[in-house]
Amino acid sequence: MAQKLFESFLDKISGFPFWVKEVVYIKLREEFESASLSEADLLTPLEEAFQAYVPLITYAGKEELNSRKNDEDDAVYRFLQFMEEEASVAEITLRNFWSLEKTARLVVYCAQKQYINRPTSKKVEATALFIAGRIKIGEYFKRIGKITVDQLDTAIRKQKELEKQGKPTQFAEVMISLGYVTERETKAVIYIKEECKKRFIFNANILGKSSMSAPAKTIQLNSEFENNTTGKNADKNSSQLILLRQEIYELQNKLRDIANIVKR
């Protein structure tokens, strides 16, 4: 089983002295507060966090991974391969240089095709559907128990009434006006969804010399967000470099798959 980079990274942080972790926490708390995230959002149990969710492959998923009879997209097979390592969504996302949005789409797709089991947590499933763009914010709040079915229906009718009156209103604003959710809650959900569109390029070197034996499936890249460079030229060059490295990475995987087929 390959080394789990994300878990090793978390272990590395856990080993920091308290005074270092305190500063990190304060800085993160400031950022979360500016994004309208509440204490309740930060106190979500780990098993309710989509990033920590570990998808479980089904018999049908194993059959498809071995036979590839349905000729699925390469990303689907890459995703299913990680089930053998019992990797979390965060681990899968980082190791493949995907955005969390892309991983969410794969989770939803594979669950519908019965390649993986559906998440047992309603919040995890709702989060995956929302990030993947399969449900809207009202349905999301209903699925996590924030609003009822009747309240959702009332909000839908209210929005239609406003449209007929020539007052088109965002659905989130309608729910806020009805007192079903707060502005802070809607801003937090929208912020999280937007953040999930970013890709994070993880560098295994930050784990130290003892963890330098990065798995074969991982290319060591500098840690950076695609949109976190200064200047238009730097941003363009950085994006091109990331795409080029990913193409090389995907080509290596394809060559590895071909080698496995030849061995059979």
pLDDT for residue 227: 43
What percentage of the chain reaches a pLDDT higher than 90? Answer: 51
Whether 27 shows a pLDDT value over 90: the answer reads: no
Rounded distance between C-alpha atoms, residue 59 and residue 115, angstroms? 7
pLDDT class of 236 with cuts at 50, 70, 90:
low
Confidence of residue 221 (pLDDT cuts 50, 70, 90): very low
- Give the tens place of pLDDT for each residue, 95-132: 888 999 999 999 999 999 999 999 999 999 999 999 99
Residue 91 or residue 251, greater confidence = 91
DSSP string, 140-204: HHHHTTSS-HHHHHHHHHHHHHHHHTT----HHHHHHHTTSS-HHHHHHHHHHHHHTT-BEE--G
According to DSSP, the residues that pair with 199 across neighbouring strands are: 99
Residue 12: per-residue pLDDT: 81
Phi, psi (degrees; rounded to nearest 5) at 190: -65, -40
Against a cut of 0.75, is the pTM above it? no
pLDDT of 219 reads: 35
pLDDT, residue 247, reads: 61
User: How large is the average pLDDT for residues 15-40?
Assistant: 81
* pLDDT for residue 225 is more than 70: no
SS3 37: coil
Q: Which residue has the tokens 């955005």?
A: 99
Question: Cα-atom radius of gyration of the chain, to the nearest Å?
Answer: 21
Residue range 152-195, pLDDT digits in tens: 999 999 999 999 999 999 999 999 999 999 998 999 899 889 99
What are the tokens at 96? 């493949």
- Return the SS3 of 71: coil
Mean pLDDT on 142-160: 96
At residue 210, the pLDDT reads: 47
Element (H, E) at 254: helix 232-263
User: Who wins on pLDDT, 14 or 68?
Assistant: 68
Residue 12: both structure tokens together: 């590395």
Phi/psi of residue 197, each to 5°? -85, -10
pLDDT of residue 238: 54
pLDDT band at 224 (very low <50, low <70, confident <90, very high): very low
Q: Tell me how far apart the alpha carbons of residues 135 and 148 are, in angstroms, rounded to a whole number.
A: 16
What is the model's pLDDT at position 215? 39
